[in-house]
Amino acid sequence: MNKPRILSGVQPTGNLHLGNYLGAIRSWVEQQQHYDNFFCVVDLHAITVPHNPQTLAQDTLTIAALYLACGIDLQYSTIFVQSHVSAHSELAWLLNCVTPLNWLERMIQFKEKAIKQGENVSVGLLDYPVLMAADILLYDADKVPVGEDQKQHLELTRDIVIRINDKFGREDAPVLKLPEPLIRKEGARVMSLADGTKKMSKSDESELSRINLLDPPEVIQKKIKKCKTDPQRGLWFDDPDRPECHNLLTLYTLLSNQTKEAVAKECAEMGWGQFKPLLTETAIAALEPIQAKYGEILADRGELDRIIQAGNAKASHTAHQTLTRVREALGFLPDPHQPQ
Ligand code: AQP
């Protein structure tokens, strides 16, 4: 029996941080043998906000290498670059033409990111969820691992599928597969080190707000030393008046692979002076094997290029089959250059 298929990705908008790892990549790794996985570096998404053309290519490679360093296994998973598979842009256009504008204007992430950009907000940012729908639907993904921040986008993807199948499919032959969310509980939202009410994010201006997967030990130590805390003694979870305390305890729980109950007990009497060195040591130890593996992968750049090219070819083959199906359903003249 075929394994269910998974599609997910990360934008090369900067260095991967603990939020990306604990909220996404680590669970991909843990569950990968149960699925047929496609993991892409979503570089077309990265240009929906102003980007640096000098760093985009390197960031794309870094993320592909970090997927491998974190434990993505090519036996179960395909790694590829979104912009190398032209079907993503093509399907996004077709989906654009059946997606009502007001569905996109309702998206919370668009509203949040658009506010930051004022007059300069691009059509691409508004269209981000349609491109994401194309990413998912091209691979007939059964499941999409999503954090809380992406739930609304997956709902939109499902609405687009229902609309296309309704308008252009038959009941016994739907055009597109309806994907299901795979909701993460633990680590669903890792918060900023500078503000426990804000998501840890690559685009936060302050480097001190996040721990990057490639931060050396002394940088991790400095960031945890400077992170925001409160004047209380004793540490506990789930106190709405202590968001930083909850976040740092959660980080410690996830990085030390302990249960919440065990950490609550261990840290109940601690002050920050005792807890911060413990968290520092744990974070450094958790990232050390990833950093060592990353070094090995970069030392053989030719092999990394080969892995990406093989992933692109496999992804392209699958994606173009879906694109052809959608083109046919929408009534286009068959393209003699596309594999049928
Ligand atoms: N703080 C977070 N906590 C838990 N999960 C997170 N993810 C991101 N930040 C956190 C998850 O990481 C995956 C890839 O995210 P992305 O790079 O595609 O975009 P993002 O969610 O917008 O991440 P950033 O770091 O905030 O990027 P920028 O600053 O460029 O917008 C997703 O599964 C996401 O849920």
Alpha carbon 281 to chain centroid, angstroms: 26
Q: What residue owns the CA closest to ligand 1's atom 35?
A: 147
Which pLDDT does position 248 carry in this prediction?
Answer: 97
Q: What is the reported pTM? A: 0.94
User: For 33-63, how does the pLDDT look when each residue is reduced to its tens digit (9 = 90+)?
Assistant: 999 999 999 999 999 999 999 999 999 999 9
- 16 pLDDT higher than 70: yes
| Confidence grade of residue 1 (pLDDT, cut at 50, 70, 90) | confident
Q: What residue owns the CA closest to ligand 1's atom 18?
A: 10
- Selected catalytic residue, list 3, 151, 167, 199: 199
Q: For ligand 1, is residue 147 a contact (CB within 6 Å)? A: yes
Work out the average pLDDT over 256-261.
94
- Using the mean position of ligand 1's atoms as its centre, give its distance from the Cα of residue 340 in Å: 36
- 340 pLDDT higher than 60: no
| Best of 7, 8, 20, 185 for a ligand 1 pocket test (most atoms within 8 Å of beta carbon) | 20
User: For 209-256, how does the pLDDT look when each residue is reduced to its tens digit (9 = 90+)?
Assistant: 999 999 999 999 999 999 999 998 899 999 999 999 999 999 999 999
How does 114-134 read in b/e, with b if 16+ C-beta sit within 10 Å? beeeeeebeeebbbbbbbbbb
- 187 pLDDT higher than 80: no
CA distance 86 to 338: 11
Q: Would you say 107 and 149 are in contact if contact means Cβ atoms under 8 Å apart?
A: no
Alpha carbon 261 to chain centroid, angstroms: 28
198 is catalytic: no
Indicate the range of 7-11, 103-107, 151-155, 202-206 predicted with least confidence: 202-206
| Best of 201, 205, 251 for a ligand 1 pocket test (most atoms within 8 Å of beta carbon) | 201
- Selected catalytic residue, list 113, 198, 222, 260: 113
CB atoms within 10 A of CB 25: 24
Q: Which atom of ligand 1 is nearest to the CA of 149?
A: 35
Relative to beta strand 143-146, strand 36-41 is: unpaired
Work out the average pLDDT over 266-272.
95
- Using the mean position of ligand 1's atoms as its centre, give its distance from the Cα of residue 46 in Å: 12
113 is catalytic: yes
167 is catalytic: no
CA distance 312 to 39: 11
